Structure 1
């Protein structure tokens, strides 16, 4: 019904028709584990047990498919639960995957410490160097996995070109779209086969719920993920689905404000004498600026920077902010600051994916920009 409508119209209405019985405009929380059957196998609306399906979760999944331009979506208990189900649904022992050489630490840990134990092989490749990425492809490569922008280095992958490379080699492309959000980037339209999100981040948007999602267009891929979604059971509960759906409604307006604020913060940091490098795709000097401009609506709310005075100075900045809260995660309305090397990316320490020790990551929130700039100014000293 909402196919021809704009993004925010779909975000507010898809899967969320007023309740036919009461006229309630918000889908209710169906806090039930099971459903009455009208005779053996006589299911009302197809619901039999809430691991297999729950109307609140269905509303969220319908909405997520609509805003990502997919046909089917699956809501999980966390982003990593979604990633795990994608790997198990679409790969077999012995298969090879190409992953980013600057992947999110949790994604790397899932491949390196979990998937490898049941026979998966992976190679970490630079997603910005297409010839190097192509060189990592082999006959056994069944999947290419990218984030764009990457976490925490904010590198940009050319989704269209990487989809072409993956498909030429008979592999599928999975894109982690968490940093951009569906509002700023639509990987399925650019050739990706699966989009994955930590809905904890921008989609939920309020730092009050943990969740994940996988969105697809292809029926065969959808059926495989659907089977594992139910068989493994890491599903989003109705309360979490309700909160996530509540967040989705304001995704467009929030992302606009995140981007407005991040652009001002990035400009400020780029001119600061204590900053060695600012990584933000919206800056003209960012190596991925042109590709990001081609495939993203705007450049997002995430910024990383390197401190000229090294690791301890970077850690000290994180301790001194007052408006920016020191904490992990990202994508909420409040601004967060963290030291990836000791916090979100500690799991890649000592590996090829280790992040620079002098790196600080900002999740720029939707507070007043002047307050954010003043806070960073005092924290940098």
Structure 2
């Protein structure tokens, strides 16, 4: 198999900044070295800062903690390097998406959202956007793409969570721009090492950093990245006036975690490949989805578009009771929501309101040894029958 961070033909010339993924992750956003200082300075905890009594806030970059924090700026520089744009971090992924939607959309506008993406975005659209006079159109990630005439914003989530369909970002971006629409891509599942939507024509990237990006299951974070100064300024102003900022310690933890992103994703992808090999051969498992699996409906687009396939897969065990028995029997698969962490986890998505069958399972591969993980999942499936 091709190395997890590469696809056939992917070489140094194809990599952003000419450096391999591991190198970029280790060094992203680090300040210039100063003797006696750590590689990554510790978090700065401050609400107010000292002001110049004559020049006021114009004399220094930091005046008040809500809009200003040096720890947060270092993280934004790091994520921006990986995504290939300017970045602003938010208190959560939902905060980042909400900020984008409320910044861009006005009464009378039309937005296209994924019908099979993160359920909280659809709930926000139904509860808030439609109440503000925004027309909401839902479309499946795998297509067909609806007519985009008169649309203000198209939001893609690819690979979609939890069904793992994949959209052709470049194709949708070309269609949207021809119709005068903006394109945003939720890059949570892929991470910037899996794909860089801005390089594929998207206007803005939004994502939850809670999941694979930071990968330690110990913080909440979101971000927005773009190459548009206008969009960046609007999102920054919205974040600052609403106060939707992450704390300094969460920002520092996130930046610390980026250094191992390449290593974590490599093992998670290898574990996903190993588990799909097991699951594909079992008659008591149906509906297996992983874009890296030849024959998966998303495989062709994912192979052409993505630099690596994430360690997230889905399958069906028939009913809720069998899912519970499976999770009870597993020693290495924790019952938990979210995904992308060091520990392998799984959850039954219907219990959260996702439009899935009662036995649908989303499994997030951790960094355990593949042999141990495959054996544990096989034993748990046997015990759950």
TM, length-normalised to structure 1: 0.92
Which residue number corresponds to residue 381 of structure 2?
380
Which residue number corresponds to residue 5 of structure 2?
none
Pair 1:134-2:134 in alignment? no
Given that 1:18 and 1:24 are in contact with CA atoms closer than 8 Å, whether structure 2 keeps it comes out as no
**Pair 1:91–1:283, CA change in 2 (3 A):** same
Which residue number corresponds to residue 46 of structure 1?
61
Give distance in 1, aligned partners of 2:212 and 2:307: 15
**Pair 1:81–1:294, CA change in 2 (3 A):** same
How far residue 109 of structure 1 moved from its aligned partner, in angstroms, is 1.6
Partner of 1:134, secondary structure, is: coil
Pair 1:120-2:146 in alignment? no
2:346 equivalent among 331, 337, 344: 337
Which residue number corresponds to residue 202 of structure 1?
212
Partner of 1:73, secondary structure, is: strand
Partner of 1:316, secondary structure, is: helix
**Pair 1:44–1:247, CA change in 2 (3 A):** farther
Given that 1:19 and 1:27 are in contact with CA atoms closer than 8 Å, whether structure 2 keeps it comes out as no
Give distance in 2, aligned partners of 1:42 and 1:231: 17
**Pair 1:44–1:323, CA change in 2 (3 A):** farther
Q: Deviations over 1:147-173 (max 9, x none)?
A: 111111010111110111111111111
Pair 1:176-2:191 in alignment? no
Which residue number corresponds to residue 292 of structure 1?
302
- Alignment map for 1:1-381 (pairs within 5 Å): 3-18=17-32, 20=34, 22-38=36-52, 39-70=54-85, 72-129=86-143, 132-135=144-147, 137-139=148-150, 141-307=151-317, 309-343=318-352, 346=353, 348=354, 354-381=355-382
How far residue 4 of structure 1 moved from its aligned partner, in angstroms, is 4.7
Given that 1:264 and 1:369 are in contact with CA atoms closer than 8 Å, whether structure 2 keeps it comes out as yes
Give distance in 2, aligned partners of 1:96 and 1:341: 29
Given that 1:11 and 1:66 are in contact with CA atoms closer than 8 Å, whether structure 2 keeps it comes out as no
Q: Please identify, of 113-122 and 292-301, the stretch whose mean Cα deviation from structure 2 is larger.
A: 113-122
Which residue number corresponds to residue 351 of structure 1?
none
Give distance in 2, aligned partners of 1:114 and 1:172: 20
How far residue 89 of structure 1 moved from its aligned partner, in angstroms, is 1.2
The runs of at least 4 aligned residues of structure 1 exceeding 6 Å deviation read: none
Segments of 5+ residues of structure 2 without an aligned counterpart are 1-15
Given that 2:91 and 2:222 are in contact with CA atoms closer than 8 Å, whether structure 1 keeps it comes out as yes
Give distance in 1, aligned partners of 2:334 and 2:285: 20
Aligned residues: 366
Segments of 5+ residues of structure 1 without an aligned counterpart are 349-353
TM, length-normalised to structure 2: 0.91
Given that 1:10 and 1:63 are in contact with CA atoms closer than 8 Å, whether structure 2 keeps it comes out as no
How far residue 42 of structure 1 moved from its aligned partner, in angstroms, is 4.5
**Pair 1:32–1:19, CA change in 2 (3 A):** farther
How far residue 224 of structure 1 moved from its aligned partner, in angstroms, is 1.0
